[in-house]
Amino acid sequence: MKKVMMGNHAISHGATLARVQVIAAYPITPQTQVVELLSEIVADGKLKAEYIKVESEHSAMAACIGASSAGARAFTATSSQGLALMHELLHWAAGARLPIVMADINRAMGPPWNIWTDQNDSLSQRDTGWMQFYCQSNQEVLDSVIMAYKVTEKVLMPAMIVLDAFSLSHTYEIVDLPDQAVVDKYLPPFDFKYKLNVNDPHTYGGLTTPEWYMEFRVKMQEAMEQALVEIKKEAVEFEKAFGRRYDPVEPYMVDDADIVLVTSGTAASTARFAVDQMRKKGKKVGNLRMRLLRPFPFADVREHLKNAKKVIVVDRNISYGYHGIWAQEVKSALYGHSKVPVFNFIAGLGGRDIFPETFVDIVNKVKKLKKPDQELYWVEVKQ
Amino acid sequence: MKPTLPLEELMSPGHLACQGCGAGIAMRVSLKALGRDTMFTFPACCWTVIDGPFPYSCLEVPLLHMAFEATAATAAGIKAAMNALGKDKTTICGWAGDGGTFDIGLQALSGAAERNDDIFYFCYDNEAYMNTGIQRSGATPYGAWTTTTPVKHFKKELKKSIDDIVAAHKVPYQATASVAYPEDLYKKLVKAKDIRGFKFIHIIAPCPPGWKARPEDTVKLARLAVQTGIFPVYEVDGGKYVQTMKTPTRKPVLDYLKLQGRFKHLKENEVADIQKMVDTRYAELEKRFQG
């Protein structure tokens, strides 16, 4: 059934279709519609779930950790400061190997206060052990929630569905709501082998000495490597079930492109529009959309950038004293495999619009350069 | 002789508690009342260590270790899952020290109490951050030495009245207890197990290394804490205060203080001040006991 809905409601419907059993959430702009709609759906009895209206994001994640440990499919959604407040427990959820799925609406971190989009909130959680899926459409948001549970419950690592504040969260698009029966067939109920069980009592997360701690960490890395295999497998399985495909990266006209713009989130669709315009003028430009941050799709990035003469990473984020975070990831993937110069542009922080012309200007600037003469280039900033 | 408590032990020997640990007694007795259909979550606290290092555990019930400030919310999450999975009879317990309750875990505690989540919240109170090496907490009483309130600058602030804070949430059941009176604790838990909603149990649990007391004095100190009126033992059942261990003639606080090195620097006038504080607090509570 096709419906017009905002990105936030696509999350709520995704969680509902995934039959989440425990929701614990705390409101923050621009996430509120996610939890508002879910609270209504649960209260109406349309989803058989327990909803804990917690007093903070920290407690939201704590409750999800408790619920998941006890064997329930747990869900939450947050943004920005809320995600930062959860930080400690993001490590805990991953270390405890719990298949929690959470939506994060990318919102800039304060101060100064700002409710609009950029990626510093989620990218700051890069090393917590969460899978991160960056979406560019409301359909992808809904589908990703369902697909994420499939993957997380196989490898027992948590996953974050990430979408831009307002430019996706509050933007209305046509979304195909899959039939519950099809979702149920694709995503079986959560059956947690390691759940808290009074008939087989175990202690989880207890004091572990240097003799064993590292082995736990090896297993997390192995689980994330396996997650990449599962994500690729699910791209196929999901397409079979629902007719839509989501790969770790999405190439657009990259094969013959001299210049490839690497983007993530909604900036990717803008970049493609710009690519189309530039192609009409004979410029060989392509776009590589990064969907997956962790596990990082090294091989896909190398494959799709192998023909490029120049790579431009446009980051809606910054690691202060370094440069954009996606640029760091892409450079790391290419190092030792390719000599292609990587140019890094920082754009759209705090919700400043990124227009098609922005990409055209970036490409025109890069065309004049043989290699980067700066570590990063700011886009459209006031002097 | 008829035993006053069930003989079955759900806490095994071989745990890592210090000699004379009050927290160990608190768990042993509590489990006798709670039984096997029980799950725990612990924040960072002495019990993180006491339970035993991976892969050992001294408890015969499931246990989820959790971050310091998250006890009540975690327990609420476990409970929600058990409800969702149709296993709502299982007793879910948060089990935290005083730091995890009075200080860093207070927000989550308040949230769960306000929502009236159907869980037990236990605070075993040894009156400082004992696991990290005896630093003062909001539960440390006036006059006490700790490593962050050294003798020259002993703690000048009063112990936070956590029971009144919880009471302000109008929870269905709350109680204080002392490890010196296991039957009283047992009875309270058996009763509270059948009450739906938030249950707060605050247990005074002496700590020989932290209180600079002799391990063999743990029970004596836990008893004197009650007999002096320093830690009155009562319950609040549906808003009604009942003193469960009566102390018609209270012993002087000095009897309690003098057994502990953490108070040995106190001068006579400071002991007298403590006596006055305890008298005032006790009088307040007595009014509530009388309804």
Q: Are residues A45 and A177 in the same domain?
A: yes
Q: Are residues A365 and A317 in the same domain?
A: yes
If one counts the domains in chain A, the total is 2
Q: Are residues A163 and A256 in the same domain?
A: no
* Mean pLDDT score across all residues of chain A: 98
Share of chain B above pLDDT 70, in %: 100
Write out the DSSP string of B100-129.
IIIITTHHHHHHHHHHT-S-EEEEEE-SSB
**A383 in any annotated domain:** no
CATH number at residue A14: 3.40.50.970
A347, A316 contact by CB (below 8 A): yes
Tokens of A92: 């805990």
Please report, in tens digits, the pLDDT of each residue of chain B (291 residues total). 889 999 999 999 999 999 999 999 999 999 999 999 999 999 999 999 999 999 999 999 999 999 999 999 999 999 999 999 999 999 999 999 999 999 999 999 999 999 999 999 999 999 999 999 999 999 999 999 999 999 999 999 999 999 999 999 999 999 999 999 999 999 999 999 999 999 999 999 999 999 999 999 999 999 999 999 999 999 999 999 999 999 989 999 999 999 999 999 999 999 999 999 999 999 999 999 998
Are the Cβ atoms of B63 and A59 closer than 8 angstroms?
no
**B49 in any annotated domain:** yes
Are the Cβ atoms of B78 and A69 closer than 8 angstroms?
yes
**A40 in any annotated domain:** yes
Q: What is the dihedral of CA A117, A118, A122, A124, to 10 degrees?
A: -150
Q: Are residues A233 and A350 in the same domain?
A: no
Chain A, window 20-59: residues with a beta carbon less than 8 angstroms from a chain B beta carbon: 21-22, 24, 48-50, 52-56, 58-59
Q: Are residues A195 and A335 in the same domain?
A: no
B34, A20 contact by CB (below 8 A): no
CATH number at residue B148: 3.40.50.970
Q: Are residues A93 and A164 in the same domain?
A: yes
A30, A169 contact by CB (below 8 A): yes
Q: Are residues A191 and A80 in the same domain?
A: yes
Q: Are residues A217 and A234 in the same domain?
A: yes
If one counts the domains in chain B, the total is 1
In whole angstroms, what is the distance from residue B175 CA to residue B238 CA?
11
The model's confidence at residue A291, banded by pLDDT at 50, 70 and 90, is very high
- Chosen from A19, A20, A50, A75 to mutate, greatest number of chain B CBs within 10 A: A50
State yes or no: pLDDT of A19 exceeds 90. yes
Nearest residue to A72 (alpha-carbon basis) of A128, A22, A29? A22
Task: Determine which helix (DSSP H) or strand (DSSP E) holds A346, and give its type and residue range.
Answer: strand A342-346
In whole angstroms, what is the distance from residue B170 CA to residue B161 CA?
15
**A50 in any annotated domain:** yes
Sign of the Cα torsion A369, A371, A377, A382 reads: negative
Last residue of a domain, one of A220, A242, A264: A242
Q: Are residues A287 and A179 in the same domain?
A: no
Residues of A in contact with B90 (CB under 8 A): 198
**B107 in any annotated domain:** yes
Q: Are residues A141 and A162 in the same domain?
A: yes
A18-23 mean pLDDT: 98
Q: Are residues A257 and A231 in the same domain?
A: no
What range does the domain containing B272 cover? 22-290
For B101, residues 6+ apart whose C-beta sits below 8 A from its C-beta are: B71, B109, B121, B123, B125, B139, B162
- A202 touching B (Cβ < 8 Å): yes
Are the Cβ atoms of B37 and A196 closer than 8 angstroms?
no
In whole angstroms, what is the distance from residue A259 CA to residue A336 CA?
20
Q: Are residues A217 and A260 in the same domain?
A: no
pLDDT, tens digit, 9 for 90 and up, residues A32-88: 999 999 999 999 999 999 999 999 999 999 999 999 999 999 999 999 999 999 999
In whole angstroms, what is the distance from residue B102 CA to residue B119 CA?
18
**B7 in any annotated domain:** no
Please name the residue of chain B whose CA is at the shortest distance from the CA of residue A200.
B62
What range does the domain containing A352 cover? 251-378
pLDDT, tens digit, 9 for 90 and up, residues A232-245: 999 999 999 999 99
**B15 in any annotated domain:** no
Please name the residue of chain B whose CA is at the shortest distance from the CA of residue A72.
B81
Residues of B in contact with A63 (CB under 8 A): 73-74, 76-77, 80
Are the Cβ atoms of A205 and B61 closer than 8 angstroms?
no
pLDDT, tens digit, 9 for 90 and up, residues A121-163: 999 999 999 999 999 999 999 999 999 999 999 999 999 999 9
